[in-house]
Amino acid sequence: ISFNSVDSSLSSLKNCQSYINTGMDIATHVALDLVESFNDVEDVNSMESAMLEYAAMDRELNHYMRAVEETVNQIKREKPENIPDLKYLVKEKFTALESKNSDSDLQRNEKYMYFKDQLKEMRKQFCRQSDNDNEAIEQIDEDLAVTQSQMNFICPITQMEMKRPVRNKVCGHTYEEDAILKIIQTRKQQKKKVRCPKIGCSHADVKGSDLMPDEALKRAIDSQKKQ
């Protein structure tokens, strides 16, 4: 049995997934723009709703692609004499996957988590909090010490103001992107782990996969420069 047409369809679906990812990136940047320009919380919340809709589409697409791939692998493994009803088998697997859906799936979407994280950081950096946004207020109170640290725009490696800050998801410290990646690469060649260069931090295994762009901090730095 040839699965060329199926492979072609899967490739098209993966392209659709890239469009969803782009949409989520745009929604994140719009939300940060809104916070930076002191727009209404309601406007920011509409961006969060859009992010959840994108996350739901991404989950559905993932389930469908997984259903197709599992069906194809099953047929290749079993090698039936008669061609089975691919459409029915895929629908059956897809329905089973969708039946396990929960809201927590969407909350765990990587881009949605990044959106929430950056929104929280943005509110801290620009000191914006709303009476209607109790969650943000609680997070600001809890992370007061981190806020004071984040307001320091100097990279612990270069000792210069950061241009492209990245934050370590594990310990929360920020570094200049090129500087920390260079250290990681050098230590990797030496087959050694990288200790967080922030003085006093006990995190002893900084990995490239743990670093994420800190757009909120970058905007705060740029804002200070304009002022």
**What pLDDT is recorded for position 143?**
53
Question: For residue 20, is it within any domain?
Answer: yes
**Share above pLDDT 90 across residues of the chain, in percent, rounded to a whole number:** 63
pLDDT tens, residue by residue, 182-201: 999 999 999 999 999 999 99
- Residues 122 and 173 placed together within one structural domain of the fold: no
- Residues 96 and 170 placed together within one structural domain of the fold: no
3-state secondary structure 194-224: CCCCCCCCCCCCCCHHHEEECHHHHHHHHHH
**What pLDDT is recorded for position 41?**
82
Total length of the chain: 227
- Residues 100 and 170 placed together within one structural domain of the fold: no
- Residues 100 and 169 placed together within one structural domain of the fold: no
Q: Which of 148, 149, 202, 158 is nearest to 178 (CA)?
A: 158
pLDDT tens, residue by residue, 70-79: 998 888 888 8
Domain enclosing residue 98, as ranges: 3-127
138 class by beta-carbon count within 10 Å (0-12 exposed, 13-18 middle, 19+ buried): exposed
**What pLDDT is recorded for position 146?**
46
Is residue 50 very low, low, confident or very high in pLDDT (cuts 50, 70, 90)?
very high
Question: For residue 11, is it within any domain?
Answer: yes
Confirm if 155 and 197 have CB atoms less than 8 A apart.
no
Question: Could you tell me whether strands 211-213 and 165-168 are parallel, antiparallel, or unpaired per DSSP bridges?
Answer: antiparallel
Question: For residue 153, is it within any domain?
Answer: no
- Residues 7 and 116 placed together within one structural domain of the fold: yes
**Helical spans, DSSP H, in the chain:** 4-36, 41-78, 86-98, 103-107, 110-125, 134-142, 144-150, 177-189, 215-226
pLDDT tens, residue by residue, 116-170: 999 988 888 776 444 445 555 555 555 554 445 445 799 999 999 999 999 999 9
Tell me which residue has tokens 């801290």: 124
Q: Is the pLDDT of residue 109 over 90?
A: yes
